[in-house]
Structure 1
């Protein structure tokens, strides 16, 4: 029996080894290396200079970091609840038995699998101040639309709207799976008691979707704090720093300004921020289930 056990263990190690080596080379070692580097200055050419907590202290006195930090908070505070709410309504609508329902589901999911480059080009055209579709619609109501992506006021809202549209289908799909797991008997019983559509939604659908909503919230929070491609492709963080976020500034610090230690410190501040928020969400969900 021991021989069979060792034989199985050997084959398990052989099959797992390539994955473990890749994980070690491209995940674990870079994470450890970046953490060590966050306590140093390094431009990839000069020798590493140890500065202790110098990068972290500089970070919290950096006006640009403070600005992009609040831009990230605003981005998250708007895109997460709005995206979850709209995707939940869409999931409820697409859970009905209507003709062509599969087509509608695919249509709403298409932006998720579309290239961000293609999405950015389409939305740049929509936001164009001269011939863009959005300003055309506003003009029908006598409203003179702004220069969206070049405006200090409207650049960040424009990026937020694009991000919500891009990720709507993923959250919708998760909610749709959750909805299909709710027994129809609950709705049938509520109808016998005379419950309205709104009452069924708030007293049956929302409570029973609590685990699904929790998962969608956690994933949306993590993704929103890590947003980069939408900002980079649509506005480049401009005008000024009006639409720049933490990951965009991190990228610039590391690969444009060649301050690898400073960028690493920024990455770990972001990591601990996301970690604290995630732990809080888990604690809140656990407490909610207890009561």
Structure 2
């Protein structure tokens, strides 16, 4: 009769231990509730308001917003400039994501080696990331300027003519893309460097003992270990790239030829604050949000399937 009693008491104790402690619940509530409140006020409420305004013809200075239904969405989908803006957004985003990831990984692999002055070089590589995008845009105007720019001077020394980055839409888009990659490179570099320093060194040593070539070690041993880091960077860099405004505004203001470097984020600003069509700008912002949401969900699904 003694053993069943002991068994019941232990079971009761286990159930009690499974229950969350009241003090822990109180602490979690105190820490989470204020953050959730601020998140709702400053993130989700503006998001809902933006979606609501996308169905109106609201002007920033107008006291009343008139309901127009899907008119803004129909106009955006049928406007001749829309697909130029979408093309610029996709091309800019893909180029900056791939360029930032590839160059960041290359620099991380190089500066992970025991080299003289590597800490100084690491600081130099990371520094542009913490500098204002507007400041970098102003600085790079002296690099791409058609009359006295650095590229123009170098091309003249070789007897060549530098392209006009400020008049040709293709060259202008390339200019802002290269500028953003240079600014964002420090971010991907630091994250990849941290991942490299935390990787399993025993796998590298085993591959080296087996006589595996450096290229094969990179593909078969190192890159699989960096997959979670690459996934994280691909999402964050993509989200940041699709929301770039300062560099484009300073260097080209969306031009040349009207929409030569206009992306969807810049179009939101242009329609809302320049053309005074806040309702139409909210429509573009809503569509951009849906695209970002869909891309993020797809990336998460792909990553989850890769881990199975």
Could you state the TM-score of these two structures normalised by the residue count of structure 2?
0.87
Aligned residue in 1 for 2:193 = 176
Residues 1:150 and 2:167 aligned together: yes
Q: Structure 1's 275 and 17: CA in aligned 2 closer, same or farther, altered over 3 A?
A: closer
| SS of residue in 2 equivalent to 1:241 | coil
Q: Structure 1's 204 and 141: CA in aligned 2 closer, same or farther, altered over 3 A?
A: farther
Aligned residue in 2 for 1:29 = 45
| SS of residue in 2 equivalent to 1:182 | coil
The Cα shift of 1:28 comes to 2.2
Aligned residue in 1 for 2:13 = none
| 1:112–1:166 Cα contact (<8 Å) kept | yes
The Cα shift of 1:151 comes to 2.1
| SS of residue in 1 equivalent to 2:146 | coil
| SS of residue in 2 equivalent to 1:214 | helix
Aligned residue-pair number: 287
In 2, Cα distance between equivalents of 1:204 and 1:8: 43
In 1, Cα distance between equivalents of 2:78 and 2:208: 59
Cα RMSD for the two superposed structures: 2.0
| SS of residue in 1 equivalent to 2:207 | helix
In 1, Cα distance between equivalents of 2:223 and 2:54: 43
Spell out structure 1 runs of 4+ moving beyond 6 A. Answer: none
The Cα shift of 1:15 comes to 5.7
Pick which of 270-279 and 209-218 moved more.
270-279
In 2, Cα distance between equivalents of 1:28 and 1:280: 22
Q: Structure 1's 170 and 138: CA in aligned 2 closer, same or farther, altered over 3 A?
A: same
Residues 1:258 and 2:276 aligned together: yes
Q: Structure 1's 183 and 14: CA in aligned 2 closer, same or farther, altered over 3 A?
A: closer
Q: Which runs of 5+ in 2 are unaligned?
A: 1-20
Out of 135, 143, 146, the residue aligned to residue 129 of structure 1 is 146
Q: Structure 1's 65 and 184: CA in aligned 2 closer, same or farther, altered over 3 A?
A: same
The Cα shift of 1:14 comes to 5.7
Aligned residue in 2 for 1:102 = 119
In 2, Cα distance between equivalents of 1:70 and 1:79: 14
The Cα shift of 1:25 comes to 3.0
Could you state the TM-score of these two structures normalised by the residue count of structure 1?
0.92
Pick which of 278-287 and 260-269 moved more.
278-287
Q: Structure 1's 7 and 258: CA in aligned 2 closer, same or farther, altered over 3 A?
A: same
Q: Which runs of 5+ in 1 are unaligned?
A: none
Query: 1:81-102: per-residue Cα shift (whole Å, max 9, x none)?
Result: 1221111101101111112111
Out of 43, 46, 69, the residue aligned to residue 52 of structure 1 is 69
Query: 1:180-237: per-residue Cα shift (whole Å, max 9, x none)?
Result: 1112211111111112222221121111111111111111111111111111111101
Pick which of 155-164 and 64-73 moved more.
64-73
Q: Structure 1's 283 and 20: CA in aligned 2 closer, same or farther, altered over 3 A?
A: closer
Q: Structure 1's 281 and 17: CA in aligned 2 closer, same or farther, altered over 3 A?
A: closer
In 1, Cα distance between equivalents of 2:222 and 2:25: 47
In 2, Cα distance between equivalents of 1:283 and 1:54: 34
The Cα shift of 1:244 comes to 0.8
| 1:65–1:249 Cα contact (<8 Å) kept | no
In 2, Cα distance between equivalents of 1:187 and 1:16: 42
In 2, Cα distance between equivalents of 1:54 and 1:136: 50
Out of 214, 217, 221, the residue aligned to residue 197 of structure 1 is 214
| SS of residue in 2 equivalent to 1:154 | helix
